[in-house]
């Protein structure tokens, strides 16, 4: 069985190891997912249950979505993690925290619940998912042809890490740190103050 990393439930993984599940096709996954009361990601024939979000995570997502929409709402759509993203027909199906689409959105089928062409993806880091978001998932995102930027937002300090696609396919890294800083998203031609992103968020250092 393929594992997506430390961001997924240990109990869930152990249960699957003890009771191996049949591999699912993407079509079977979508049929199950659309009828399920909770969200799951899909990769390599298996579904992976998603955990809930912290209060800080929800606040950061709300603040950032609101700030982006206020600047680019007429040019692009800012979508929260209720919309599924397909990386490739047989690859990862996932729910990024925030996705921005510029131009006509493209979907996997007539249900219009599985997006194909994000311009910007933003993930808010959590202690249990950070390694997964930085590693496996980031590598998957970089294979999306339409993607121009990928951002990682900290929950423990005012910090936004940004990976921007340049000509030739290279990715350039930059970061904005400190509550007085501003992060510029070139893919959607806007800047957002970190003070707005972290408005009302009580930042706490991770436990030692």
Question: Which pLDDT does position 205 carry in this prediction?
Answer: 59
Give me the pLDDT at residue 206, please. 54
Low-confidence stretches of the chain (pLDDT < 50) are 1-19, 208
User: Model pTM?
Assistant: 0.87
Question: Which pLDDT does position 51 carry in this prediction?
Answer: 81
Can you give the residue ranges of every domain in the chain? 10-49, 55-197
CATH superfamily placement of domain 55-197: tt1808, chain A (3.90.1570.10)
What pLDDT shows up at residue 16?
A: 42
- Reported as a single tens digit per residue, the pLDDT across 98-130 is 999 999 999 999 999 999 999 999 999 988 889
Are 11 and 95 within 8 A, CB to CB? no
Report the pLDDT value the prediction gives residue 4, as an integer from 0 to 100.
44
């Amino acid at each position: 069985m393929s594992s997506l990393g430390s961001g997924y439930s240990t109990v869930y993984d152990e249960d699957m190891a003890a009771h191996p599940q049949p591999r699912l096709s993407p079509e079977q996954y979508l049929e199950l997912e659309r009828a399920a009361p909770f969200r799951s990601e899909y990769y390599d024939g298996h579904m992976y249950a998603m955990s809930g979000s912290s209060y800080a995570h929800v606040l950061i997502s709300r603040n950032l979505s609101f700030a982006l929409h206020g600047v680019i709402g007429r040019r692009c759509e800012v979508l929260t993690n209720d919309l599924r993203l397909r990386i490739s027909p047989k690859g990862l199906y996932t729910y990024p925290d925030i996705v921005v689409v510029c131009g006509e959105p493209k979907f996997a089928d007539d249900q219009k619940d599985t997006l194909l062409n994000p311009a910007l993806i933003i993930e808010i880091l959590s202690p249990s998912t950070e390694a997964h978001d930085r590693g496996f998932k980031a590598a998957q995102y970089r294979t999306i042809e339409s993607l121009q930027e990928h951002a990682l937002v900290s929950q423990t300090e005012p910090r936004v890490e940004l990976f921007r696609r340049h000509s030739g396919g290279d990715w350039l890294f930059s970061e904005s740190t400190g509550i007085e800083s501003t992060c510029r998203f070139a893919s959607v031609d806007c800047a957002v103050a970190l003070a707005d992103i972290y408005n009302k968020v009580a930042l706490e250092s991770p436990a030692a």
